[in-house]
Amino acid sequence: MKKIFLYVIISLFLLLLLVFILMYFEAGNSRYEKRQCEVIAKNMNTVSKYEDGICFLKMNDIYIPKDMIKEMFL
């Protein structure tokens, strides 16, 4: 009975550790995407806004999603 309890505690700890690791990488990924958005805006000599995982670039006083700008210039 003690072995089963020990296995359950260890597995719960490992699961919790895995969740925290995944959350850390997700937060790091969003910081990287925000930084990348700022670099693109700097290269285009415009202003960027990053909301809800979407990069918006300012063109003609309107914020347009980055992916839409790519489609316009293809």
Helix (H) or strand (E) holding 68: helix 66-72
More confident residue, 33 or 12: 12
Q: What is the pLDDT of residue 1?
A: 78
Ordered DSSP codes for 23-63: HHHHHHHHHHHHHHHHHHHHHTTS-EEEETTEEEEEETTEE
1: helix, coil or strand?
coil
50 - beta bridge partners? 55
Number of domains in the chain: 1
56 CB neighbour count, 10 Å cutoff: 19
pLDDT of residue 7: 93
Whether the model pTM is above 0.85: no
* Across 34-63, average pLDDT: 83
pLDDT tens track for 61-74: 888 887 777 666 65
Q: Which domain holds residue 58?
A: 2-72
Please indicate whether residue 6 or residue 49 has the higher confidence score (pLDDT). 6
